[in-house]
A and B are shown apart, each in its own frame.
Chain A
């Protein structure tokens, strides 16, 4: 790899890694499943690198990357229009708009989430850890825990909602201080 190419690649990696989580969250809002988001993100990463030369000003990387991610996600969804969970185009556009216009707010919520997870009790953290482990299957986890899948989903939902309340409180306190 030529020196210029190495410099460019290093610059791209720094930018990509810095914004990867935001982009993943954005894509996740548009596609039905967590695995789908990871699949789209692989295409996004490749497209960003391939088009990186076309980016005039690296300070615009985030906005540019969101545009590419939006395009890639919508193209991916077009091929899966018959999937029962895919939203209509107009709703997808509205969701994309919501996230891309409030990137900083969602990023702040992700930052606050770490503190909120630490406030959960041991049983809640254990449940989260099991539910989000690579390859985890909710039905198998529920059976192993001696619960019905529905009660497992509900417990997980309550924890997520508690975390969302917590992040909002933390961010509100930050705004006041």
Chain B
């Protein structure tokens, strides 16, 4: 090999998985004899790993629009009623009420996550289907009452995550439990049109104290999306599509503590771009031993409850606030 350019191209092919056996031979011959090549290779791998690791936001944030109106119009009762009607389509038990203007204060209200507390066993879960409005697109799961020594975090039911409907990249049964629900933000456009609103999402996770020394993680993510949600693919590819097309997102992963007596809370917050048309709330469990064939491809007892989504409008004056009296 003659030049550093040739070396970096070989490293690139290796890291991207497109190298031939001859490429590998040439590269390893250089790595064997040149410490500087080993340093370059390790740095390239380090950069690649970090870019793919999710700790750095790669997509450029959408520019935040500044308020263009001179004053805030109060949210007209008719608008609120229309929003309430729209919400009613998603959740029959939502009851909304008004409070008066609270000048100068930040305000917030819950957004309609259907089955956020999984209280209605009769409402279906859309197993393996494309994410859509008003229903959880789900991996294998069931709405259950207290079991396995775990009582619901909220009210009397919770969601038990059983396993995946998909396979991993090596064709083995995947051990992710993945759930997505889309929330239509168009009825609320006026509330975040000036770009001064955040989206807050929270969920509670729990799991049985397993005996196999496995580590499990629970990940909560929220995506702000623009455009038509009918383009979303079925569940397995659906999240990739969301991740690719999102205009803002926030993600948090926690390691489950193996203590079924205590639920673990997780929460994310993201600035909501004014262009947002809909939001995707997604959570998943992942097993650290998902690749091993020694365990059955099912979670021994993993639960989620009390998934909540709120729109938080930062300190603005002279507006009427809509607050939920009850939900789910």
Let me know if B244 and A130 touch, CB within 8 A: yes
Q: Which residues of A contact B239 (CB under 8 A)?
A: 134-135
Task: Say yes or no for B215: interface residue by CB 8 A criterion.
Answer: yes
- DSSP class of B's interface residues: helix, strand, loop or mixed? helix
Let me know if A117 and B16 touch, CB within 8 A: no
As a 0/1 sequence over residues 32 to 60 of chain B, the CB contacts with chain A under 8 angstroms (1 = contact) are 10010011011111111111110111111
Q: Closest CB-CB distance, A148 to chain B, in whole Å?
A: 13
Q: Closest CB-CB distance, B232 to chain A, in whole Å?
A: 14
Q: Which residues of B contact A163 (CB under 8 A)?
A: 47, 51
Given A95-B41, A125-B58, verify A85-B288 contact (CB < 8 Å).
Answer: no
Q: Which residues of A contact B42 (CB under 8 A)?
A: 29, 95, 98-99, 102, 106
Task: Say yes or no for A81: interface residue by CB 8 A criterion.
Answer: no
Task: Say yes or no for B237: interface residue by CB 8 A criterion.
Answer: yes
Let me know if A85 and B17 touch, CB within 8 A: yes
Task: Say yes or no for B243: interface residue by CB 8 A criterion.
Answer: yes
Given A94-B38, A98-B38, verify A113-B56 contact (CB < 8 Å).
Answer: yes
Given A32-B17, A109-B43, verify A126-B213 contact (CB < 8 Å).
Answer: no
Let me know if B209 and A113 touch, CB within 8 A: no
Interface range, A side: 35 or more
Given A6-B259, A113-B47, verify A134-B240 contact (CB < 8 Å).
Answer: yes
Contact partner of A129 among B38, B48, B58, B214, CB < 8 A?
A: B58
Task: Say yes or no for A46: interface residue by CB 8 A criterion.
Answer: yes
Task: Say yes or no for A114: interface residue by CB 8 A criterion.
Answer: yes
Q: Whole-angstrom distance between the alpha carbons of A46 and B45 in the complex?
A: 23
As a 0/1 sequence over residues 3 to 16 of chain A, the CB contacts with chain B under 8 angstroms (1 = contact) are 00010011001001
Let me know if A85 and B24 touch, CB within 8 A: yes
Let me know if B58 and A28 touch, CB within 8 A: no
Let me know if B47 and A164 touch, CB within 8 A: yes
Of residues 26 through 60 on chain A, the ones whose CB sits less than 8 Å from some CB of chain B are 28-29, 32-35, 37, 39, 42-43, 45-46, 49-50
Let me know if A13 and B16 touch, CB within 8 A: no
Contact partner of A95 among B20, B31, B49, CB < 8 A?
A: B31
Q: Whole-angstrom distance between the alpha carbons of A160 and B46 in the complex?
A: 11
Q: Closest CB-CB distance, A50 to chain B, in whole Å?
A: 6
Let me know if A34 and B49 touch, CB within 8 A: yes
Closest chain A residue to B239 by CB distance?
A: A134
- DSSP class of A's interface residues: helix, strand, loop or mixed? helix
Q: Which residues of A contact B59 (CB under 8 A)?
A: 125-126, 129
Q: Whole-angstrom distance between the alpha carbons of A43 and B46 in the complex?
A: 20
Task: Say yes or no for B289: interface residue by CB 8 A criterion.
Answer: yes
Given A25-B49, A95-B41, verify A90-B32 contact (CB < 8 Å).
Answer: yes
Q: Whole-angstrom distance between the alpha carbons of A61 and B198 in the complex?
A: 38
Task: Say yes or no for B169: interface residue by CB 8 A criterion.
Answer: yes
Q: Which residues of B contact A46 (CB under 8 A)?
A: 213-215, 288-289
Q: Closest CB-CB distance, B235 to chain A, in whole Å?
A: 12
Let me know if B291 and A42 touch, CB within 8 A: yes
Q: Which residues of A contact B31 (CB under 8 A)?
A: 87, 91, 94-95
Task: Say yes or no for B314: interface residue by CB 8 A criterion.
Answer: no
Q: Whole-angstrom distance between the alpha carbons of A29 and B169 in the complex?
A: 20
Q: Which residues of B contact A88 (CB under 8 A)?
A: 28, 32
Q: Closest CB-CB distance, A158 to chain B, in whole Å?
A: 10
Task: Say yes or no for B257: interface residue by CB 8 A criterion.
Answer: yes
Q: Which of B6-14, B73-81, B118-126 is the contact stretch?
A: B6-14
State the B residues within 8 Å of A (CB).
8-9, 12, 14, 16-21, 24, 28, 31-32, 35, 38-39, 41-53, 55-60, 169, 209, 213-215, 237, 239-240, 243-244, 255, 257-259, 287-291
Known: A84-B24, A106-B42, A132-B58. 6 other contacts (CB 8 A): A10-B257, A85-B24, A94-B38, A126-B59, A134-B240, A161-B8
